[in-house]
Amino acid sequence: MSAELLAVDDLHVYYGSAHVLQGISLTHRGGVLGLLGRNGMGKTTLARAIMGLVPVNGGTVSVGGRAITNRPPHRVALEGVGYVPQGREIFPSLSVHEHLQMLSGRRKARGGDGWTLQGVYDMFPRLRERHNVSAGHLSGGEQQMLAIGRALLTNPSLLIMDEPSEGLAPVIVDPLIDKLRALADSGMAILLIEQNLRMATAVADQLLIVSSGRIEASVAPKELEDDDQLQHDLLGVTMKA
Amino acid sequence: MPSYFQFVLTLMNGLTYGALLFVIASGFTLVFGLMRVLNLSHGAIYLLGGYVGYTASTTVSQLLARSVPALHQAAGGGFGWLLGVLAAAVAGGLVALVLQRLIRNVHGDLAQTLLTLGLAITIGDLCLWIWGGLPLTLDAPDAISQPVRIAGIPYPGYRLFVIGFAVLTGVGLYLLLFRSQLGRIIRAGVDNREMVAAVGINIDRLFLTVFILGGALTGVSGAIGGTYLAFQPGTDFDILTVALFVVVIGGLGSLLGSSVGALIVGLIDSFGRAYFSELAIFLLSGTVILVLAFRTQGLFGRAN
């Protein structure tokens, strides 16, 4: 059990009478696990349920073998889950530097030196250039860097990223793909939620297809990338127009 | 020149009242900004601060006068008063602690607001039961109550102390909010509570800290205000109303808004009473109506 960074077992979430997650199970043992699916299929709800931001109605979530089902979000974060939410959700009243200052040194890494403010600036030099700027005035791509930096400073053993490519131009997405790949190669485990097929196949080691609150299939990125028919069957879209 | 005399006096009184209102409103706005709870027991905490401060300061002064008269003389009542202010801070902080523990189990803005109203009425009645209905004031220490000449006119030193205290409170709160780690977390929480929790910060404990800070500040303002303005049953809702005026004009959740709103309300109140006594209350409520009509979020509030 302890080898599993994240284990989700038969997870059910309701919003009122809507059955949004209908028994999702998955295990994450390292690397980049991609969750791919169309809009409204429950991907974001799954991320929020793991983080403790929405109540879980059935099933369990555990991190590193420890049960975190329905724990308050700050407990989940302290168990080593970093969260880069959909829409970035940076704090507009704080400057770039204040975001990082706020978290720097709060949670020590489990072994190793852990992330520092300077480490984040080294990864995203653009943030260093903009360190005094109010986060509300950053571009979408810069906000995404800040959201990632903020999550890294909690020294997570698993990083959940919800649609990091959303609303970003392709010229911004390409360097972001490189950064995520570099992060993964340095040993950071990532749960990547995406609608963007190109980003998901470029970054993930394995892909789970989510549809109507269930895991519908598990495919290798290469397999999905090369097979237009499979893309169409699973996602209703293809990479090529 | 009686008219010049009256003008300077009215101006100074307005500034003093505005200064006190700023201290009262900043606690109110701090709690609202972070927790989105309109704390209607704010005026009751002010009144309780006055009563507790009164009892603590008179008791200590009497004890000291009896046991160490020389020290009491030398301090000019300063010990008793200082301890009164401290006791008021503790009382305000304790009420805030109780309120926060009660309110975290209640969900919905209306239910939470009604809870604070219920607490306000309960505190008001308990105060009436314990301290009776007569107006009371704390005795100012001799050291800070000597008259000071301002523009040729003698002005009570204690009122200048109130202005100084408000300035220090403002600077202190500014440093806390914009220069400290706690301040960064509070401001982040005002923006987005969920994400503050999701980066590993215990939001419940943060709320408690801010609530106690706001309560203690309000208790202190009750003792400091109660040293020059008499307080009695009913003062609680008078203060709540004026605090609401200040934050409506200045904008809820903004420290700058509280200071500007407090000065506007203090000056309108003072000049209104001195020059247009029949119109005084209409001038104040008229200003509030104008702000609400043309700038609903207040002068420095965030539109949302």
Answer whether residue B303 is part of any domain: no
Residues of A within 8 A of B179 (CB-CB) are none
What is the C-alpha to C-alpha distance for residues B89 and A173, in angstroms, rounded to an integer?
54
Measure the CA–CA gap between B224 and B118, rounded to whole angstroms.
25
Interface test with A, best of B199, B205, B300 (most A CBs within 10 A): B199
User: Is it the case that residue A111 has pLDDT exceeding 70?
Assistant: no
Average of pLDDT values for B235-258?
92
Closest to B23 (Cα-Cα) out of B287, B243, B267, B271? B243
Pairwise CA distance, residues A63 & A69, whole Å: 10
Let me know: does A193 contact A43? Beta carbons within 8 Å. Answer: yes
Instruction: Provide the pLDDT for residue A110.
Output: 66
Closest partner residue to A85 (CB to CB) among B188, B195, B202 is B195
DSSP state letters, B173-236: HHHHHHHSHHHHHHHHHHH-HHHHHHTT--HHHHHHHHHHHHHHHHHHHHHHHTTTS-B-TTHH
pLDDT in tens, A186-209: 999 999 999 888 899 999 999 999
pLDDT score at B296: 87
pLDDT above 60 for A73: yes
ipTM: 0.92
Q: Please, are residues A35 and A43 in contact by the beta-carbon 8 Å criterion?
A: yes
Q: What integer is the mean pLDDT of B237-255?
A: 91
A1: pLDDT confidence band, cut at 50, 70 and 90?
Answer: very low
pLDDT band at B75 (very low <50, low <70, confident <90, very high): confident
Question: Is there a contact between A93 and B191 if contact means CB atoms under 8 Å apart?
Answer: yes
Is the pLDDT confidence value at A74 over 60?
yes
Confidence at A44, pLDDT banded by 50, 70, 90: very high
pLDDT, averaged across chain A: 92
- Give the domain A6-80+157-235 fold: Rossmann fold (3.40.50)
Q: Is residue B300 assigned to a domain?
A: no
Count how many Cα atoms sit within 13 Å of the Cα of residue B198 in the half-sphere of its side chain: 30
Mean per-residue pLDDT of chain B: 93
Q: Is the pLDDT of residue B259 over 80?
A: yes
Spatial contact of B70 and B198, defined as CB atoms under 8 Å apart: no
Give pLDDT, residue A210.
92
Cα–Cα nearest to B27, from B10, B15, B44, B39: B39
CATH code, domain with B120: 1.10.3470
* Residue A239 pLDDT: 67
Number of H helices, E strands in chain B: 12, 2
The span from the CA of A42 to the CA of A211, in Å, is 8
pLDDT for the residue B77: 78
- Selected for mutation to probe chain B from A74, A103, A132, A160 (highest B CB count within 10 Å) is A74
Give per-residue pLDDT as tens, B8-55.
Answer: 999 999 999 999 999 999 989 888 887 788 899 999 999 999 999 999
Asked whether residue B118 carries a pLDDT value surpassing 80, the answer given is yes
Report the C-alpha gap between A93 and B49 in whole angstroms: 33
Q: Which residue has the higher pLDDT, A238 or B248?
A: B248
DSSP chain A: -TT-SEEEEEEEEEETTEEEEEEEEEEE-SSEEEEE--TTSSHHHHHHHHHTSS---EEEEEETTEE-TT--HHHHHHTTEEEE-TT----TTSBHHHHHHHHTTTS--SSS----HHHHHHH-HHHHHTTTSBGGGS-HHHHHHHHHHHHHTT--SEEEEE-TTTT--HHHHHHHHHHHHHHHHTT-EEEEEES-HHHHHHH-SEEEEEETTEEEEEE-HHHHHH-HHHHHHHHS--S--
Share of chain A above pLDDT 70, in %: 95
CB of A84 closer than 8 Å to CB of A160: yes
Delimit the CATH 3.40.50.300 region(s) of chain A.
6-80+157-235
CA dihedral (A139, A144, A146, A148) in degrees, to 10, reads: -170
Give A81→chain B minimum CA distance, Å. 9
Q: Is it the case that residue A3 has pLDDT exceeding 80?
A: no
pLDDT at A240: 61
Mean pLDDT of all residues in B260-267:
96
Closest CA–CA distance from residue B192 to any residue of chain A (Å) = 7
Looking at the structure of chain B, the number of domains it has is 1
Q: B84 near B53, Cβ under 8 Å?
A: yes
Q: What one-character DSSP code corresponds to residue B136? A: B
pLDDT at residue B237, rounded to an integer? 96
Task: Give the residue from chain A lying closest to B206, CA to CA.
Answer: A74
When pLDDT is cut at 50, 70 and 90, the band that residue B2 belongs to is low
Which residues span the domain enclosing B285?
2-294
B-interface mutation test, from A51, A54, A103, most B Cβ less than 10 A away: A103
Rounded Cα distance, B247 and A144, in Å: 35
DSSP B79: H
Contact call for residues A131 and A149 (beta carbons, < 8 A): no
C-beta atoms of B199 and A89 within 8 A: no
